[in-house]
A and B are shown apart, each in its own frame.
Chain A
Amino acid sequence: VPTDVDAAAVVPPVPPLPPDEDERLAAVRALALVGTPPEERFDRITRLAAQVFDVPIVLVNLVDADELWMKSCVGLGGGPHPREDSFCTWAILDAAGMVVHDATRDRRFAANPAVTGPPHVRAYAGHPVGYRGRRVGTLCVVDTRPRDWRRHELRLLADLSGWVERELAAADLERATAELAASERRLHALLRSLPDAVVCFDRAGTVLTFNPAAESLFRRRAAEVVGGPIADLVTAPYRDTVAAGLAWRAGLDEGVMYQAEVDAACAEGAAVPIDVLVGELEGREGEVFVAVARDITARREVERMKDDFVAVVSHELRTPLTSIRASLALLATGRLGDLDPAAERMVRIAATNSERLVRLVNDVLDLDRLRTGRMPLAMTTVDVAGVCRTAVDGVAGRAAEAGVALCLEPPSAPVLADPDRMVQVLTNLLGNAITFSPPGGTVAVAGSASGEEVELCVADEGRGIPEADLRTIFAPFVQVDASDAREKAGTGLGLAIAREIVEAHGGHIWAESPEGGGARFHVTLPTADGGPAGEAP
Chain B
Amino acid sequence: VTRRLLVVDDEPDIREVAATALGLLGGYEVRTAGSGADALDALRDEVPDAVLLDVQMPGMDGPTTLAAIRGDADAAMAGVPVIVFTANAPARTREQVESLGVAGIVAKPFDPVTLGDEVARLLGWA
Contact = CB atoms under 8 A, between A and B. Distances in A.
B108 interface: yes
A315 B87 contact: yes
Contacts of A318: 87-88, 108-109
B17 A335 contact: no
B120 interface: no
A325 B13 CA distance: 11
Given A330-B25, A336-B24, A358-B109, A322 B87 contact: yes
Given A326-B109, A326-B110, 16 more contacts: A318-B87, A318-B88, A322-B11, A322-B109, A322-B110, A325-B109, A326-B17, A326-B18, A329-B111, A329-B112, A330-B20, A330-B112, A333-B25, A333-B113, A335-B25, A376-B91
B21 interface: yes
**Which of A325, A329, A376 counts the most chain B CB atoms within 10 A?**
A329
A391 B109 CA distance: 21
A319 B110 CA distance: 11
A321 B109 contact: yes
A336 B20 contact: yes
A330 B21 contact: yes
Contacts of A315: 56, 87-88
Interface string A349-386: 00000000010000001000000000010000000000
Interface string B40-56: 00000000000000001
B80 to A, nearest CB: 24
Interface residues of A, number: 18
Nearest to B108: A322
B88 A326 contact: no
B17 A319 contact: no
- Label chain B's interface by main secondary structure: helix
A326 B14 contact: yes
Contacts of A327: 13, 17, 20, 112
Interface of A: 315, 318-323, 325-327, 329-330, 333, 335-336, 358, 365, 376
A378 to B, nearest CB: 9
Contacts of A329: 111-113
14 contacts: A318-B108, A318-B109, A319-B87, A322-B87, A322-B110, A323-B13, A323-B14, A326-B14, A326-B17, A327-B13, A327-B20, A329-B113, A336-B20, A336-B24
A433 B46 CA distance: 53
B19 to A, nearest CB: 11
Contacts of A323: 11, 13-14, 17
Given A330-B112, A376-B91, A319 B14 contact: yes
A488 B110 CA distance: 24
A336 B19 CA distance: 13
A530 B13 CA distance: 52
Nearest to A361: B109
B101 to A, nearest CB: 23
A326 B107 CA distance: 13
A320 to B, nearest CB: 8
A481 B111 CA distance: 33
A361 B56 CA distance: 18
B17 A365 contact: no
A423 to B, nearest CB: 16
A326 B87 contact: no
